[in-house]
Structure 1
Amino acid sequence: MSPASKVPVRVDGRELVLSNLDKVLYPESGFTKAEVIDYYSRIAPVLLPHLEGRPLTVKRFPNGVEGMSFFEKNAPEHTPGWVRRARLPAPGSTKDRDTIDFALIDDLPGLVYYANLAALELHVPQWRVDGEGRALPPDTLVFDLDPGPPATIVECCEVALMLREVLSADGLEARPKTSGSKGMQLYAAWDGREEPSAYAKRLAQALAKRHPERIVSVMAKKQRPGKVFIDWSQNNPAKTTVAPYSLRARTRPTVSTPLLWKEVERCESPEDLVFTSSDVLARMEKHGDLFSRA
């Protein structure tokens, strides 16, 4: 790496060195690492509240979305000391670790640090840690709606409206977002009334029984064609879901985008709910954080 490819910057009082800013990470659109960092810096006001206190898993693409990628849970050895970490148990670790040192991205410098690592996708669990780094009970319920071709996000929207009604009857307010890929997710603040996976599974099974021609609640892929799989298992504490406002590693820099319910109700084509980084920045200017609980 040539010295010219390294750029020292100061972000909110923290010293960082950015590198290879002209590297193209999304070849189809020519979207560079500099643009990735710019997007995450500008979206930070609405993104950071959804990362705060949540152990971070990233998916890194050092050579862009068409190159090799890998998930990373353990904070890299070169992570600055000012990045908060939480050492948590790692049952079933593929690398035989007893614990993992997760990064907790609570501020703009930490976000820029990871963007510079080409960590395009940010994934977090449905729970947070306390000030001492200890895991707290889940505070969020999530349903991941995955369409089995030829079904698309249009069919996911129909299922989302069904779920909204069921959740509302239980006193839970659902918030929709796209996955940034082919499906969508529904979130709700969780009050701990029971184990969230058990609750989500029961709702998914009930809707699948009521609409067997449209919905499936089991993971067997042979049952999914033309239907929407309600993945309730994302509520397992060991699992993560792509964060609101995270980029996705598609051909274009699409984003997991919070939605208005009227957009869900009016969706007629998959392209209706495809939003790129520039679209989402404009939406933030217009709507603020659509995923806020306020």
Structure 2
Amino acid sequence: MPERFPVQIEGRDLELSNLDKLMYPAAGFTKGEVVDYYTRVAPVLLPHLRGRALTRIRYPNGVDGAHFFEKNAPGGTPSWVRLETLPVPGSTKARETIDFVVVDELATLVWVANLASLELHTPQWRIGEHPDLMVVDLDPGAPAGLQECCAVAMLMRDRLGEDGLSAYPKTSGKKGMQLCVPISGMQDSEAVSGYAKRVAEELSARVPGSITAKMARAIRPGKVFIDWSQNAAAKTTVAPYSLRALAEPTASTPLTWEEVAAMALGDEPARQFGAAEVLERVDAYGDLLEDLLRPGPALP
């Protein structure tokens, strides 16, 4: 296979390179397979990326090599890639603004994948708008794991339901999971974070042996940390269907509530899903997170 070859996607010209390079050596999963996965999952992934500033985590030499976070558009970015210049207060690189890449179309997604951007992370807001999502990140402290997260997810779902909110579950692709809640887009990130924190603290007070809403790592072993802080404007969360950089090519996978209940009760093994399984699930279910694309109610 040639090292570099040109392709045309929906009228856009780009060049793919080093497709034989192993990105997940233990699994024998190549960069070509990464590009293929993102191309095939694009119909359900792209709607969740459109209009959002993208943070990429790049692994130029695969998951066993060095990696770096990239928010700024890299040198050589094609002229047709959508860029949005946004302020980044408190940037670690002391930048006032960053030219963010916005993945609105398949060609941009393939270009991003070809840069070995294995992980794709987005904020809870679209450019120029207030947050249209609230995210509740459930992070287990060993020996707690995904099974315990599923049990907490059901408590959180029911509590949010009391306030008229609908929660949609997905695995993180690593060890925990997230609940995604469509909201009105009329409140700022401080209001969203404040509400998420109140609910997290309420559940933590109700089940203090199993749940914590505090960041301190010392108190997290054996508990599920409800991370409400993901709703801060500067924070990002792994996008649905994004690959994760573990030994195997797992992905952040939308679940049904029936699956969450079965995992919580131990009727099904609580586990993360691989890229091939995610594509099979998309064929079977379509996008289980499609409801996130429509505005939800205002937070109380």
Indicate the percent of aligned positions where both proteins have the same amino acid: 57
Contact map agreement 1:53 1:105 (CA 8 A) in 2: yes
Contact map agreement 2:130 2:187 (CA 8 A) in 1: no
CA distance in 2, matches of 1:11, 1:126: 28
Aligned residues: 287
Please say if 1:227 is aligned against 2:223.
yes
Compared CA separation, residues 283 and 163, structure 1 to 2 (3 A): same
Instruction: Show structure 1 runs of 5+ residues with no match.
Output: 130-134
Q: What displacement does 1:269 show?
A: 8.1
Q: Secondary structure of 1:128's match?
A: coil
Which runs of 4 or more aligned residues in structure 1 lie more than 6 Å from their structure 2 counterparts after TM superposition? none
CA distance in 1, matches of 2:96, 2:187: 30
The one-letter amino acid of 2:155's match is M
Q: What displacement does 1:12 show?
A: 1.0
Q: What displacement does 1:193 show?
A: 5.6
The one-letter amino acid of 1:184's match is M
Compared CA separation, residues 154 and 270, structure 1 to 2 (3 A): farther
* TM-score after normalising by structure 1: 0.95
Contact map agreement 1:153 1:270 (CA 8 A) in 2: no
Q: CA deviation digits over 1:137-168, x for unaligned, max 9?
A: 00000000000000000000000000000111
CA distance in 2, matches of 1:259, 1:34: 27
CA distance in 2, matches of 1:169, 1:115: 40
- For 1:26-65, what aligned pairs fall within 5 Å after superposition? 26-65=24-63
CA distance in 2, matches of 1:76, 1:109: 16
Q: Equivalent of 2:196, from 188, 197, 200?
A: 200
* TM-score after normalising by structure 2: 0.94
Q: Equivalent of 1:186, from 171, 179, 186?
A: 179
Q: Secondary structure of 1:159's match?
A: helix
Q: CA deviation digits over 1:101-138, x for unaligned, max 9?
A: 00100100000000000000000000001xxxxx2100
CA distance in 1, matches of 2:279, 2:109: 16
Q: CA deviation digits over 1:266-285, x for unaligned, max 9?
A: 00289543211100000000
Instruction: Show structure 2 runs of 5+ residues with no match.
Output: 295-300
Please say if 1:81 is aligned against 2:82.
no
Contact map agreement 2:6 2:14 (CA 8 A) in 1: yes
Q: Secondary structure of 1:273's match?
A: coil
- What RMSD over aligned residues (CA atoms) do the two structures have, in Å? 1.3
Structure 2 partner of 1:71: 69
Compared CA separation, residues 169 and 87, structure 1 to 2 (3 A): same
